[in-house]
Amino acid sequence: MEFAMKPVAIKSLLLSIFILLSGCATTSGGDTSGGSGTMNDLIVNTQLPAGAKINHSQSLIMGSGENWIGRVVLELGQNPNAAYNFFLEQYPQQGWTLVSAVRGKSSLLVFTKADRSATVELTEAGVMGGSLATLTVSPKSTLPPPPAAAPVRR
C-alpha cells in the first residue's frame, strides 16, 4: 500500500513547519538604551558604573558570565575622571590585577584576571558631557615571550 499526499497538503505541511521554526529562531535586536537586552545578560558578572548604557551597535560579545570575551562600548553619564576612578577602584575588588594605567585626555587601564585580560579606554563623550568607555576583554596569551635578540658585534 502506497501513501500519497496531495501537492496542496504537502505545501500546507511545509508552510506550517516553516512558520513554527521561524518563530523559534527570532531574537531581539537590542537597543542602545541599556535596558535588559541580551548583551546585559551576557556580561552580568562584570561591574559597570551606575547609569552606564551599552552601545549595542558598537559592541561584540562572545560567551557569557565569567567567560565572556569581546568589546563593550559604554556611554557613561559621569565625567572621564570619575569613570577612571571607578574602574581603578572597583576592578581590583572584583579580582582584577592592575597591570598598567595611563591618565590623560584619553585614559587607558589594563587589568588581568586568571587567564583573561581587560583593557578599559576612556574618552570624553563630546559636547553633551559624560564619557565613553570601551571595555575589551580577551584571553591572555599562553605563548612564551620571544627570545631576546643577540647583541650585534661590530
pLDDT classification of 59: cutoffs 50, 70, 90: very high
CB 87 within 8 A of CB 70: no
Which of 47-51, 115-119, 125-129 shows the highest mean pLDDT? 115-119
* Type of residue at 41: D
Residue range 71-98: mean pLDDT, rounded: 92
**C-alpha to C-alpha distance for 44 and 36, rounded to whole angstroms:** 10
Mean pLDDT of the chain: 77
Q: 98 is written with which cell numbers? A: 592592575
Average pLDDT over residues 99-103: 95
Of 98, 93, 142, the C-alpha closest to 120 is 98
Residue whose C-alpha is closest to residue 78's, from 48, 34, 118, 37: 48
The angle at the Cα of 26, spanning 57 to 70, to the nearest 5 degrees, equals 35
The model's pLDDT over 44-56, given as tens digits with 9 standing for 90+, comes to 667 888 888 989 9
Q: Span 18-32, mean pLDDT?
A: 42
Angle at 130 between CA 127 and CA 133, to 5 degrees: 115
User: Rounded mean pLDDT of 55-67?
Assistant: 86
Residue 153: per-residue pLDDT: 80
Q: What is the pTM of this model?
A: 0.65
From the number of C-beta atoms within 10 Å of its C-beta (0-12, 13-18, 19+), residue 17 rates as exposed
